[in-house]
Chains A and B, each alone.
Chain A
């Protein structure tokens, strides 16, 4: 089980959290103007890296707030968590 450091509540067990997938995916500013391929890239395509991955979590059984985390997808080490509206520390 992962130990996740909630930016507000501190270190808690993974079972208190829900996973929210890859972070920093930008919705196209003008959806009418993009092609089907660009829209598909936004909706479906993911970077899915083998290595460090910026992702979203929500402390669903705690403060219920969303935040971002940088986690390694092989070792599962989490080296930083930070609130959604802030830059990576």
Chain B
């Protein structure tokens, strides 16, 4: 692997930047692997990387039906935070955030993780009580957090509308300074390059069409490029978890919904943090290119169409204008929809399935991007040992039988 550094940049500049190598090999599928990972998004590639780097399992293939990072990894609003209420979620997302903090060095790839902080606004007395409870829970779990009042919010975002006359006045916020945003494509590319360097085969344009089983044990997969055998298979897919479960003969408590987001025309630097509001339901940050990245909630109906309904956009843009009148004449540049797999308790499913040797890491709903490193880290442990790590043990599929849900939906008092 060519290492990236200021020296390599200077050296390649002298030769007109013609000597750079592709970041990963174009692998052709072998007949057999120890571990197959279905899905070449951030989570799948992170899983492959930690399998190779932490557990020394390098006979691994990542199968991607399209191109690397072409799914939800490239369709999100890139917010990273760990201020979740429940202990189980806090452990998972905080593990992830700690990996984010060293990720660029670890991968030798600049993922542009910018710890610019995240504000979660409160608009009612109950919002503020929930925020206090959540920040206290965070601090008990060793996660940074502060409760800000209206003036505190105004100091960070001077142009936010804090008028008491507003329909949803800003009474305060939770503030997590270590949270921030990252460059989504770079996360996929960085993990792909680092995994490839350790011997992982990254196979693009290879769609899984069936799960091969013998006596309740997985033995491989059928793909658009032929059958591939494997001892263990990990499905790390988004948008199609239910389709894959059906191939393997079981059902999931997951429904797929469109989630829409928007990017505005580029502006000069104006917003140097991330602001989320669950009550009026909009979240916004400014990318390094100057565009505002704006997101909100899912469309109510299920769908795989990579688009949603216009009234959903209208809803979150009216919330945006209410909070930031200064943005009212902003033009929107791009709009897209991703397909998010949501579980009833808004928490992911990471662990064993009814099929021996087949493991699922799915159902990240609307908040998977932030968890990319941690998700890969715990899932690599699960695939390597056959057992969940203590961090992902509460996120088993069996929780829907036992009733021990990790109900983050309303509890986090924040959009996912």
A48 at the interface (CB under 8 A from B): yes
> Are A46 and B301 in contact (CB-based, < 8 A)?
no
User: What is the bound-complex CA distance between A49 and B310, given in angstroms?
Assistant: 23
Query: A73 contacts B242, CB within 8 Å?
Result: no
Q: Are A45 and B252 in contact (CB under 8 A)?
A: yes
Contacts A40-B401, A71-B301, A73-B302 given; indicate if A50 touches B240 (C-beta within 8 A).
yes
Alpha-carbon separation in the docked complex, A52 to B245 (Å): 18
Q: How far is the CA of A53 from the CA of B401 in the complex (A)?
A: 25
B205 vs chain A, min Cβ distance (A):
20
14 new A-B contacts at CB < 8 Å, known A48-B256, A74-B304, A76-B301: A1-B309, A1-B310, A13-B311, A15-B311, A36-B401, A41-B251, A43-B400, A44-B253, A48-B302, A50-B242, A50-B243, A50-B304, A74-B303, A74-B305
Docked-complex contact A40 and B304, CB < 8 angstroms: no
Residues A44 and B344 in contact, CB atoms below 8 Å apart: yes
Pair B305/A75 contact, Cβ less than 8 Å: yes
The CA of A43 and the CA of B343, in the complex, are separated in Å by 12
Q: Answer whether residue B221 sits at the interface, using C-beta atoms and an 8 A cutoff.
A: no
Binary contact track A5-42/B, C-beta < 8 Å → 1, others 0: 00000000111001101100000000000001100110
Q: In the complex, A86→B109 CA distance in Å? A: 59
A37 touches B401 (CB 8 A): yes
Interface of B: prevailing SS: loop
- From 228 to 255 in chain B, residues with beta carbon under 8 angstroms from any chain A beta carbon are 240, 242-243, 251-255
Query: Chain A contacts of B253 at CB under 8 A?
Result: 40, 44-46
26 contacts between A and B (CB under 8 A): A1-B309, A1-B311, A21-B255, A21-B302, A36-B402, A40-B401, A41-B251, A44-B344, A45-B253, A45-B400, A46-B253, A46-B254, A46-B255, A47-B242, A47-B251, A50-B240, A50-B243, A50-B304, A53-B302, A55-B301, A55-B302, A73-B256, A73-B304, A74-B304, A74-B305, A75-B305
CB closest chain-B residue, reference A48: B242
| B300 on interface, CB distance cutoff 8 Å | yes
CB-CB nearest in chain B for A57: B301
Binding site for A on B (CB under 8 A): 240, 242-243, 251-256, 300-305, 309-311, 344, 400-402
A3 to chain B, nearest CB (A): 11
Residues of B within 8 A of A63 (CB): none
Task: Name A41's closest neighbour in chain B (CB-CB).
Answer: B251
* Cα distance A1–B313 in the bound complex, in angstroms: 10
A47 / chain B contacts, CB cutoff of 8 Å: 242, 251
- Give the nearest-CB partner of B354 in chain A: A37
CB of B176, distance to nearest CB on chain A (Å): 31
Residue of A nearest to B310 (CB): A1
| Distance, CA A18 to CA B240, complexed state (A) | 24
Q: How far is the CB of B154 from chain A (nearest CB, A)?
A: 34
Complex: A50 Cα to B402 Cα, angstroms: 28
- B310 near A48 with CB under 8 A, answer no
Would A40 and B400 be within 8 Å (CB), given that A14-B311, A45-B252, A48-B256 are in contact? yes
B242 in contact with A19 (CB, 8 Å): no
Query: Which of chain B's residues has its CB closest to A15's CB?
Result: B311
Q: Which residues of B contact A15 (CB under 8 A)?
A: 311
| B231 → chain A closest CB, angstroms | 27
> Given A40-B400, A45-B251, is A76 in contact with B311 using a C-beta cutoff of 8 Å?
no
Inter-chain CA distance A71–B252, complex, in Å, is: 21
**Is the CB–CB distance between B240 and A76 below 8 Å?**
no
Residues of B within 8 A of A13 (CB): 311
Within 8 A of B (CB), among A50-87: 50, 53, 55, 71, 73-76
Q: Which residues of A contact B401 (CB under 8 A)?
A: 36-37, 40
A19, A21, A48, A50 interface centre (most CB from chain B within 10 Å): A48
- Cα of A73 to Cα of B256 in the assembled complex, Å: 9
User: Do residues A46 and B300 form an inter-chain contact, with CB atoms below 8 A?
Assistant: no
Which residues of chain A have C-beta atoms less than 8 A from B304's C-beta? 50, 73-74
With A37-B401, A40-B400, A40-B401 given, is the CB distance from A48 to B303 under 8 Å?
Answer: no
A48–B254 touching, CB < 8 Å: yes
CB contacts (< 8 Å) of B402 on chain A: these are 36
Residues of A with C-beta under 8 A to B242? 46-50
Measured in the bound complex, the distance between the Cα atoms of B255 and A71 in whole Å is 15
Question: For residue A73, which residues in chain B have a CB less than 8 angstroms away from its CB?
Answer: 256, 302-305
Among A37, A40, A49, A74, find the residue whose CB has the most chain B CB atoms closer than 10 A. Answer: A40
Q: Is the CB–CB distance between A46 and B240 below 8 Å?
A: no
Report Cα–Cα, A14/B256, bound state, in Å: 19
Closest to A69 in B: B301
Find chain B residues with CB under 8 A from A44 CB: 253, 344, 400
Contacts of B344 in A (CB 8 A): 44
